[in-house]
Amino acid sequence: MKIRCLGAVRTVTGSCFQIENPHGGYTLLDCGLFQGGRQTELRNFNTPVYKPQEVEAVVVTHAHMDHSGLVPRLVKSGYKGPVYASAATAELLEILWEDAAHIQEHEAQWKTRKNSRQGQNKVEPLYSSGDAQRAMKLLKVLDFNKDIEIVPDLTARFFTAGHILGAASVQIKTGFGGDDLSVLFSGDLGRRGQLIIPDPESPARSDFIFMETTYGNRLHKDLESTVKEFFQVIDEAIKDGGKILIPAFAVERTQEILYLLSQAWHENKIPRDLPIILDSPLAIKASEVYIRHPELFDDEAKLKASRGFRTDSMTSLEISRTMEESQRINEIKGPAVIVAGSGMANAGRILHHLKHNLWRPNCHVIFVGFQAQGTTGRRLVEGADAVKLFREPVAVKAKIHTIGGFSGHADQSELVEWLRPQIHDKLGVALIHGEESGTLAFQEKLRSLFPDLSVQVPHWLETLHISPEKHLSIAPEITPELAHGASAYSETLEYKSMVNRLERLRQSFLPREAPFPPNSLANLEALLNMAEEIILR
């Protein structure tokens, strides 16, 4: 079996693995958005790499956009085959794809207006609402713990991953050619003992495993300490009289935070009149999906829900659906908890709340999830003195808190314990879905614990050749044309973007006779960043 790594290798986002089918064509395991810096996000436009005309099936592990968000782009490029997902994932995808399409369209319209004023070309969105709706029609539900033939001689089986509602680890099997072969994709693995979702399963034995390493180099706090720390911050903010801003991912993290706040409210552990505001239309719709699927909760969450620990019985909870309702939040005096998207503070309504409050010393911002490189959230947790919001510099005077124990990803020890029962003398492992430093650290950890285990860390566009032989043969293969095409495409777009930025800066701030600078992409980027920083000051 040949599997090409099209994303989530030595980085966290853009998860996609192109499996060569037994009779030709390809199956994609996930097809996710790249998120982070400009250079990384340009990969989203490099559609030829995915070979959409040759793809026969897509299997989605879960609804997060870094695993599913490029499917509508694939459909825009001509894909018409099935998109397999669990029932809850399919429901969430319908919400998330529609929302993502609106964002893409809005950004394209904004860039087009900007380009028009400068005599430049119209900007097309990554995909449209129509593309998202066509993608929804391709969804097919795949049940857990049941083998389904997705293409001839290739089956898929879902196991509970314990990450978000409906999240799966996926085992792909084939017996074509007389040799049985099974490859397991971990998907995103959750922690044991989470608030709502059951623990991840340990799947059946596989010949090879693609394993996530988001937190491969660190350990989380235990849940009890995490919850205690969370409410200590809430108490401190109430005493300060400031707003409590929680950038939260629409799926899972928002529901966990509301679950905790609801429980504390019912038990009188927070003031009964403390405004708790959910300001995210996407998270509101996702929460409704959760309410429809209590059968996917763990036993404790089911019991607490039955006893009335539900957000719909919390009278201080306000649901903000419209833009007008969101704007009125800024008129609230005194402390209030505002849960808004997006989780990395790189888009959505949270940006408006940050703009209105980040410069206030009595404001508290609580980050409760992973912050990718290049995002506003990452800059804040790393201690930035100011961040740019809506192209304006905003001073950071608020208190920034990072509470990692809420993470929906397993930490290093939990990853090891998930892998341990699956180890055998013929197993091969590829470590994926982690920033390079964390992935390499986890590789060293596994090599120290299991010296005979074959552990690889692939690169973008690398192809792994997997066979049922002992110590599976893994031969890196990067097609020169493919690598050159992808690199050239991204570099061309990035270079044009930076040249446009530079020309605007030159026209505004430099003498007409100033020479047009640098001859390398790296130097150009460095110059632009320096110039923009000087101007902002």
Q: What is the CATH number of the domain that holds 450?
A: 3.60.15.10
- DSSP-derived secondary structure for 433-449: SS-HHHHHHHHHHHHHH
On whether both 169 and 102 belong to a single domain, the answer is yes
Residues 334 and 467 in one domain: no
Q: Are residues 510 and 371 in the same domain?
A: no
Reference 18, options 43, 69, 54; nearest CA is 54
Helix, strand, or coil (residue 354): helix
Query: CATH code at 351?
Result: 3.40.50.10890
Contact 183, 464 (CB under 8 A): no
- Residue 472 to residues 7, 178, 207, 404, Cα–Cα distance (Å): 22, 17, 8, 36
Q: Which domain holds residue 419?
A: 2-218+408-478
Q: Are residues 415 and 388 in the same domain?
A: no
Same domain, 326 and 449: no
DSSP H helical ranges for 278-404 = 281-292, 299-306, 323-328, 350-357, 376-381
Mean pLDDT value of segment 386-405:
93
What is d(CA 482, CA 171) in angstroms, rounded to the nearest whole number?
A: 27
Residue identified by tokens 């019991």 is: 303
Per-residue pLDDT band for 414 (boundaries 50, 70, 90) equals very high
How many angstroms separate the CA atoms of 412 and 329, rounded?
39
| Average pLDDT estimate for 66-86 | 97
Report the pLDDT value the prediction gives residue 474, as an integer from 0 to 100.
Answer: 53
Same domain, yes or no: 486 and 463: no
Domain limit, last residue, from 391, 406, 421: 406
Identify the helix (H) or strand (E) that includes residue 4. strand 2-7
Give bridge partners of residue 463 from the DSSP assignment: 4
What sign does the dihedral 520-524-526-527 (CA atoms) show?
positive
> Considering its fold, how many domains does the chain have in total?
3
425 and 499, same domain (yes or no): no
Residues 251-281: tens digit of each pLDDT: 999 999 999 999 999 899 999 999 999 999 9
Locate the DSSP E strands across 295-410: 317-319, 336-340, 364-367, 386-389, 392-395, 399-402
Q: Please tell me whether residues 116 and 181 are part of one structural domain.
A: yes
- What's the gap between Cα 266 and its chain centre? 32
Both 443 and 503 in a single domain? no
Is the Cβ–Cβ distance between 478 and 503 less than 8 Å? Answer: no
Cα 496 from Cα 524, distance rounded (Å) = 11
pLDDT-derived band at 369, boundaries 50, 70, 90: confident
Same domain, 194 and 242: no
> In this predicted model, what pLDDT tens digit does every residue of 110-169 receive, in sequence order?
888 888 888 888 889 999 999 999 999 999 999 999 999 999 999 999 999 999 999 999
pLDDT > 70? residue 65: yes
Please, is 514 exposed, middle or buried when counting C-beta atoms within 10 Å of its C-beta (0-12, 13-18, 19+)?
A: exposed
Alpha helices in 363-514 (DSSP H): 376-381, 412-419, 436-449, 480-509
Chain-centroid distance of CA 38 in Å reads 16
Question: CA–CA separation, 29 vs 2, rounded Å?
Answer: 13
Classify residue 508 by burial, with Cβ atoms within 10 Å: 0-12, 13-18, 19+: exposed
| 228 and 214 share one domain | no
* Alpha-carbon gap, residue 268 to 185, rounded angstroms: 43
Residues 300-359 have pLDDT tens digits of 888 776 665 556 668 889 999 999 999 999 899 999 999 998 889 988 899 999 999 999
Q: Are 150 and 144 in contact (CB under 8 A)?
A: no
Domain boundary residue among 440, 460, 478? 478
Does 473 lie in the same domain as 485? no
Which among 389, 406, 423 is the end of a domain? 406
471 falls in which pLDDT band (50, 70, 90)? Answer: very low
